[in-house]
Structure 1
Amino acid sequence: MCFDTTASNTGQMKGACTLLEKQLGKSLLYLACRHILEVVLRSVFEYKIGSTTAPQPDIFRRFQIHWPNIDQPKYIEGVQDDSVKKSVKEFEKEVSEFLLFQLTEKQPRDDYLELIKLCLIFLGKVPSHDVSFNTPGAYHHARWMAKAIYFLKMFIFREQFSMSEEEFSSLKAICLFIVNLYVKMWCQASNAISAPSNDLQFVQNVIKYRRIDQGVSDKVLGKYLLHLWYLNPELICLSLFDKNVSNEIKSKMAKKILSYSNLTEEERSSRIMRVQVSEDEAVNLFKNISLQNFVLDQSLAFFEYFKVKTDFLTEDPKKWSESKDFLKLQRCRVVQREGLS
């Protein structure tokens, strides 16, 4: 069974889950919610724009009022700004290809699709005859995606919307973070299988982002390191089913899992819920680390929960689909699970 949680206090969460496990008479696999991505965006927003308790920040309200005066065909792509073009160079190809593919997929809501299209317009990857813009909608603290949509629109219409130099600089920095790192991560947030791999890649990309904006990088890294639930020894096993993880990495993970014997009761009770890494350690630790480095003896618990053997791990990953145990895990709701966001 699985248990979703947004709790940031590990002790409280483990206590609640322990009570549930006793009531149910079985162990639970803990799947944390992905609301950390909202926290990350808010941290960048507050770092660059400032914290606000008002229902609608002043710059958003001004843009909404000014919208009827905007000549929409006269938008300007983000990459027409030389500093933007330079700052998106490292991630542009990967992000553009990913977003163009997302246009062929059904999106959960209209604002997901709008965010994807705005990022592509920002990158200059949408033909001019396909460009259209929605009227800026209501903004409030709960509808966090409106932040990203507002930021991108304001920058795309930067020559038609009056801003101070400080506002423009902050706006540019936020848009660069959204386009370079954030949008791809958010679009994949609901896929449980890819969560371990995506989390590891995101942290590594955030560290690389120091070359573009160290302040934003440090803010995001500080928040995300507190939420490395999917890199724990149990959930790292989800990567065995991730089609985007190479067979070489899967083989290394399998070999390490097989190197451990059965779990003792002490090992089973001292579960690692969340990988804990300090900001000082993170830069060096994540530089050359890979998924197999997160496999520990407690990874065996993942297979115990579903009562499957690990024998298929002795085979080449290409042959895993021939195993009944592998197929049993692949069919289970946890491995197929979406909607974690």
Structure 2
Amino acid sequence: MASTSGSGTKPKTRKDNEVWLIGPTAHALTGLKLPSTGEVMSLFFQIHKVNKATIKESAKEVIKQKTKEDEKQGMNPPFSSSSESEEQVNSSASECSPPKKSKPGKPRAKNIMSPVLAKALDRTKISDRDAVHLIAAAAQTLGHNVEDIAVNRKTIRQSRMKLRVQSFKSAKEQFILNLDPTIPLVVHWDGKLLPETAGGKETYDRLPIIVSYEENEQLLNVSKLPNGTGEAMANAVVEVVKDWKLKDYIVAMSFDTTSSNTGRHTGACKLIEIKLEKNLLWLPCSHHVHEVVIGGVFDRVMGPSTGPDILVFKRFQAFWPNIVQSDYSTAATDQEMDLVVTENREANDLLFLKKISDYTKVDKEVSEEACRKFINHLWYLNEEVVGFAFFDMNVGDETKQRMVDSLKKAQNGNRMKAVVKPQDVNDIHLEDFVSSATSQFFDMLNLPTDFLQLSPSLWQTNAGYCKAQKKLKTMKVVNDVAERGVALIQDYIHVITKDEEQRQFLLQVVSDHRKNFPNSLKRTVIEALKKNDLCC
């Protein structure tokens, strides 16, 4: 039975005289034998807990009784000094003390950083410090208690870094999983020399590497090169292509016609073919080719520029506001000269070559320079790429039949670009560029050839031909894709992070966000967010 010591006091129970791991406390040592550690500690807690003595006083009393009992048994004192004895008793007492209950703390702040929020912050170039202010203000405005939300810079930074990695890995795995071997991939790249730090003097070549397919494109990497040589670019492209497991899917290359790309022995294109152990279609940027022609003619007529700015263009730029921009006409109005650079390149290139050759009647100097420049860039009339013309709606049936007949001709060895002499321009035809090597075009792109047995007038009735025609129409022959990659690295190289690995993840995240949120219209944002919820 529990006893009470008086009215108004808490009744004592057996539990009050018990110690964790020891049991009931003892009033004294028994004296029948050497006391055990448990008996010593029972006495200690009796003195300390029941008699309310201090720990130091309790230890001294226990040591005194223990020494007395040892002497009765003819034993030497167990301790060499009083301080050592007190220290040992206190240590044993702490081991017998029950674990303290932890006080209930404040609820852990909620981390609200989500993939879609992290991507939005990255795209809009919000630093981790600025994100603290932005998230806190938005949370308070929406009626949340900011103290319940993790808005410190360290948490935000770590969460964003982790989510970038997760987003990149997820997008990469999904892209590889959805690869269709029947859809040809074109790999694009373009280099740009950029400073490593804002305002810094140390610069590196940055090489955006992107693949395009149908109406889509996928950023693979923006490689940091030791230099801008063909070898360095080829190594970067091949490494990334293999990392993404795209070797068997890449069928063509799109690039600018610089010597570092097109060199016969050390150019990036040739080295990529060697390293990948396969032939690829060479699709140089159509825009760049015509820029070369226009630049050559301008220098020939106006003289080479001695500075970064061309004065006639600066004056035109300054005068532009005075022009009625809603009512103007271009200098050239001939529709035949309106080149379509995204498709039908083969027929258009030959037509353009004949046009500028015939322009000698108007201006011989301009005609000669334009012909000289363009003859050096007849990439789309080489023996392989000329195969696109079989699927060109603007090429007549008679020409197509002669092209079919030319497939039996021996190849001329001009695999990279066609060779034409200026004096022969008006005497050549599209079928003159076709040879037995053109059959490789069909093999590379895995295209049907059974329609070649039919009359060209019946090709449009052949299902395989129509399907191949649709496939080829979506292949990009301009390098705007890579130029967008250059603009991307220029915009984000000096923001948010200085870590190279995180920078690559950042570029991937921004590229992906731009595809999902092409504009800032509310309708677009809502649809993209709903799609994101379904994906998650």
> Which of 61, 70, 89 pairs up with 2:314?
61
Please state how far the C-alpha of 1:2 moved relative to its aligned partner: 0.9
Which amino acid in 1 is paired with 2:434?
Answer: V
Aligned equivalent of 1:340:
478
> Which of 387, 405, 422 pairs up with 1:282?
422
Please state how far the C-alpha of 1:55 moved relative to its aligned partner: 3.8
Distance 2:359 2:289 in 1: 19
Please state how far the C-alpha of 1:324 moved relative to its aligned partner: 4.5
Please state how far the C-alpha of 1:330 moved relative to its aligned partner: 1.8
8 Å contact kept, 2:357–2:367 = yes
Aligned equivalent of 1:3:
253
Q: Does 1:243 align with 2:393?
A: yes
In structure 1, the residue corresponding to 2:375 is in which secondary structure?
Answer: helix
Please state how far the C-alpha of 1:256 moved relative to its aligned partner: 2.0
> Which of 413, 424, 430 pairs up with 1:291?
430
Please state how far the C-alpha of 1:273 moved relative to its aligned partner: 0.8
Runs of 5+ unmatched residues, structure 1? 74-113, 123-174, 262-266
Aligned equivalent of 1:38:
291
Which amino acid in 1 is paired with 2:338?
Answer: K
> Which of 307, 316, 331 pairs up with 2:455?
316
Please state how far the C-alpha of 1:7 moved relative to its aligned partner: 3.4
8 Å contact kept, 2:400–2:456 = yes
Q: What does the per-residue CA deviation read over 1:30-61, in whole Å, with 9 as the maximum and x for residues that have no partner?
A: 21112111111112222222222434323333
Which amino acid in 2 is paired with 1:184?
Answer: D
Distance 1:328 1:181 in 2: 29
Distance 2:461 2:327 in 1: 40
Aligned equivalent of 1:47:
300
Q: What does the per-residue CA deviation read over 1:87-143, in whole Å, with 9 as the maximum and x for residues that have no partner?
A: xxxxxxxxxxxxxxxxxxxxxxxxxxx8x974xx25xxxxxxxxxxxxxxxxxxxxx
8 Å contact kept, 1:3–1:29 = yes
Q: Does 1:200 align with 2:350?
A: yes
Compare the two structures and name the one with the higher helix fraction: 1
Aligned equivalent of 1:184:
338
Residue-pair matches, total? 226
8 Å contact kept, 2:385–2:441 = yes
Alpha-carbon spacing, 1:53–1:22, altered in 2? closer, same or farther (3 Å): same
In structure 2, the residue corresponding to 1:31 is in which secondary structure?
Answer: strand
Q: TM-score, normalised by structure 1?
A: 0.57
Q: What does the per-residue CA deviation read over 1:304-341, in whole Å, with 9 as the maximum and x for residues that have no partner?
A: 11334422112111222343542342232x44324516
Alpha-carbon spacing, 1:180–1:220, altered in 2? closer, same or farther (3 Å): farther
Distance 2:291 2:320 in 1: 26
Alpha-carbon spacing, 1:55–1:14, altered in 2? closer, same or farther (3 Å): closer
- Which deviates more from structure 2 when the two are superposed, residues 11-20 or residues 23-32? 11-20
8 Å contact kept, 1:306–1:329 = no
Please state how far the C-alpha of 1:252 moved relative to its aligned partner: 1.1
RMSD in angstroms over aligned alpha carbons? Answer: 3.2
Which amino acid in 2 is paired with 1:225?
Answer: I
Distance 1:13 1:5 in 2: 17
Distance 2:459 2:434 in 1: 19
8 Å contact kept, 1:260–1:297 = yes
Distance 1:222 1:294 in 2: 19
Q: Does 1:29 align with 2:281?
A: yes
Distance 1:117 1:238 in 2: 38
Aligned equivalent of 1:107:
none
Runs of 5+ unmatched residues, structure 2? 1-250, 480-536
Alpha-carbon spacing, 1:14–1:319, altered in 2? closer, same or farther (3 Å): farther
Compare the two structures and name the one with the higher strand fraction: 2
Please state how far the C-alpha of 1:233 moved relative to its aligned partner: 1.0
Which amino acid in 1 is paired with 2:341?
Answer: A
Please state how far the C-alpha of 1:189 moved relative to its aligned partner: 1.4
Alpha-carbon spacing, 1:13–1:245, altered in 2? closer, same or farther (3 Å): farther
Write the mapping of 1:4-153 to structure 2, written as runs, cut at 5 A.
4-9=254-259, 10-12=262-264, 16-21=268-273, 24=276, 26-34=278-286, 35-65=288-318, 70=322, 118=328, 121-122=329-330
Alpha-carbon spacing, 1:117–1:325, altered in 2? closer, same or farther (3 Å): farther
Aligned equivalent of 1:272:
415
In structure 2, the residue corresponding to 1:236 is in which secondary structure?
Answer: helix
8 Å contact kept, 1:255–1:314 = no
Aligned equivalent of 1:209:
359
Please state how far the C-alpha of 1:282 moved relative to its aligned partner: 1.8
Alpha-carbon spacing, 1:189–1:117, altered in 2? closer, same or farther (3 Å): farther
Please state how far the C-alpha of 1:62 moved relative to its aligned partner: 3.6
Aligned equivalent of 1:331:
470
In structure 2, the residue corresponding to 1:287 is in which secondary structure?
Answer: helix
Q: What does the per-residue CA deviation read over 1:228-256, in whole Å, with 9 as the maximum and x for residues that have no partner?
A: 00111111111111111111111111122
Please state how far the C-alpha of 1:214 moved relative to its aligned partner: 0.3
